[in-house]
Amino acid sequence: MAPPNTSLLRPNTPNTPIPSTADDTKHTVQSHSNTRQKVIRLDNMNAHIRNVEYAVRGELAIKAETLKKQLNSENSLPFETIVNCNIGNPQQLEQKPITFFRQVASLCDNPDLLLPEARHIVSQLYPQDAIERAELLLQHIGSVGAYSHSQGIPHIRENVAKFISERDGYPTDPENIYLTQGASAGVQSILSVLTANESTGILIPTPQYPLYSATLSLLNATPVPYLLDESQGWALNVQDLGTSVNQARAKGVDVRALCIINPGNPTGQCLSEENMREIIEFCYTNRIVLLADEVYQTNIYDPEARPFHSFKKVLMSMDNQFHDLELISFHSISKGMIGECGRRGGYFECHGIDDEVMAQLYKIASVSLCPNVHGQILVDLMCQPPKQGEPSYEKYSQEISSTYSSLRRRSKKLEDCFNSMEGVTCNPAYGAMYLFPQIRLPAKAIAEAKSQGKAPDNFYCLQMLDATGVCVVPGSGFGQKEGTWHFRSTFLPPEHLFDSFCEKLTKFHSDFLNKYRD
C-alpha cells in the first residue's frame, strides 16, 4: 500500500513559512488570501468520484438549465420553453398525481385533520377510505417526522410482501424486504455489498442506465458489458452473456452479478418468460447473483404480446434446484402511472441471500438510519391501492387508465415520428417510458463533432437543444455498439402538446441533415 500523502495534512503551500505570532498570522492571511492553495482539489480528491459519469444529468442537462435561466430573463431563443426529455420525471411534464395517494399523504402530514373536532369538515373534503388509510398508517408510523425502523416500517413491509405474493402467486417474507430512497439507493447498497475490490466484476447491459456504470466507478469495481441486439428488438442472447463472463474471468475478473433492466432502460424491451428462464439457468450454472431492476413493471404497452413477468415468479415456477439462486429485485414509486419521483420511495426483495450477508445489509441500512417516511407511505399506497367497492376505487381506476392509455398513444406517436425521419430507425417501446432511436449522421457532421472534441451523437443532441429547447440524452452516455449513434428520449411531454413536439423534432432533423449533408 502506498504511504499516505502527508502534504494533505499541511494547510500551507510548501514555500509559505508557518506564522509564529498573531501579527504574522494577520499579515500572512492578508498577503496570501487570494493565492492560498485549497486543501481539497480536483487533483487530490477521491479519484473514483472524479471518474463517475452520469449522462442523464450531464452536459446537456446542465446546458438546458442555463438556457432555462436565459428564457426567464430575456426572449432571444428560438423556442419558448425547455422540454426535459432527458429523464423519466413524469410529473415535471404534467403527469397528474394519483388523487388518493395525495389525499392520504396530506392527512399523514397534518394529523390534526383527523381529530374528532375536525372530522365533520374533513369528511366533506376526503373520502372515507383515504381517512381510514391515513389513520391506519399513523397507528404504525406515529409521526412522519420521526425516524422509522432502518429496514422500513414493518406494517408497510408486510403490505409490500402481500403485493409481491399476490402478483407472483408465491409467499414472500417481509423480513427479506428493504424499503429504500427510490430503487437507485437500493441498487447502490447492493452493489456496494457485492464489491470486494477492483477485481469484482458486474455484468451490465449495453446500452445501460448509467446508474450502474456510475456506481461501479464509485466503488472501483469492474463493469463487464454484454451487448443487447438492436436488430432483434434489443434482445438478450445468453450465449453472448457466456462470452462476456468467460473473457472477463480469463483476465482475473471475479464476475459476481448480472444486472437485468426489465422492462429496459433506455431500450424499452420486455423479456419473454422463455428468455428469463435461460437467464436464471445461466446465473445458477455460473454462480452469479441476479439483480432484477423491475421499476417499469407497470409500463407495459403490448401486454398480450410482451407481458411483464417478474424474475421472482419465473424462478419459483422452475425446478426446485434453482430455487436457492441469489436474486435481488427492485421496484419504485417513481415510474409507472404513479410517477412520484421526488418522494424517493422504493424497495428491494432479497431471495436466497446468505443469512450473514443479510445481517450486513441491515448494518448498512442502519448507517443511514432509515429511508424517508413520505416515500415509504407512497410505497404502501402503490402496493395496496383502493380496491373495487371502496369509495376511491372508481376515481383511482380512471386516473390509472387515463395515464396508461395516454402513455401508450404517445409512445407509438413518437416511434412513428422517429421512423419517418431520414436515416433514423427506432424499435418500439414494449415497456418503460423511453425510445432509443439510431441516427445515421453525415460524415461532415461527424467530422465537425470530432473537431469540437464531442461524440457525434452528443453534438447532434446539443444542436437539437439549441434549436428546439428539447433536451435528450446521447446514446454515448448509455453505451452503444461501436460505429452506431443513438439518443434517448422520453415520451412524457403532455399529450396536448405532443404533435407540436414531434413537429419540432422532425424540422430540426431535416435542417441538421441539410446543413451537414455530404
Domain boundaries, the chain: 55-94+397-516, 147-383
- Counting other chains too, the contacts that 486-489 makes at CB distance below 8 Å and 24 or more residues apart are 486/207, 486/436, 486/437, 486/438, 486/439, 486/457, 487/436, 487/437, 487/439, 487/457, 487/460, 487/461, 488/86, 488/266, 488/434, 488/435, 488/436, 489/85, 489/414, 489/434, 489/435, 489/437
Separation of alpha carbons 54 and 65, rounded Å: 16
* Alpha-carbon distances, residue 225 vs 204, 213, 259 (angstroms): 5, 10, 10
* Residue-by-residue pLDDT tens, the chain, 518 positions: 443 333 333 333 334 444 444 455 455 445 455 688 888 788 877 777 877 776 666 788 899 999 988 888 877 888 889 999 998 889 988 899 999 999 999 999 999 999 999 988 999 999 999 999 999 999 999 999 998 998 999 999 999 999 999 999 999 999 999 999 999 999 999 999 999 998 999 999 999 888 898 899 889 999 999 999 999 999 999 999 999 999 999 999 999 999 999 999 999 999 999 999 999 999 999 999 999 999 999 999 999 999 999 999 999 999 999 999 999 999 999 999 999 999 999 999 999 999 999 999 999 898 889 999 999 999 999 999 999 999 999 999 999 999 999 999 999 999 999 999 999 999 999 999 999 999 999 999 999 999 999 999 999 999 999 999 999 999 998 989 989 999 999 999 999 999 999 999 999 999 999 999 87
CB 227 within 8 A of CB 240: yes
The pLDDT assigned to 61 comes to 86
Domain 55-94+397-516 has CATH 1.10.10.60: no
Indicate yes or no: pTM above 0.85.
Answer: yes
Residue with cell 443532441: 461
Separation of alpha carbons 476 and 483, rounded Å: 11
CATH class of 147-383: alpha beta
Q: Same topology for domains 55-94+397-516 and 147-383, yes or no?
A: no
The pLDDT assigned to 359 comes to 94
The pLDDT assigned to 74 comes to 74
The pLDDT assigned to 477 comes to 87
The pLDDT assigned to 57 comes to 64
List CB contacts of 128: < 8 A, sequence separation 6 or more.
391
The pLDDT assigned to 3 comes to 39
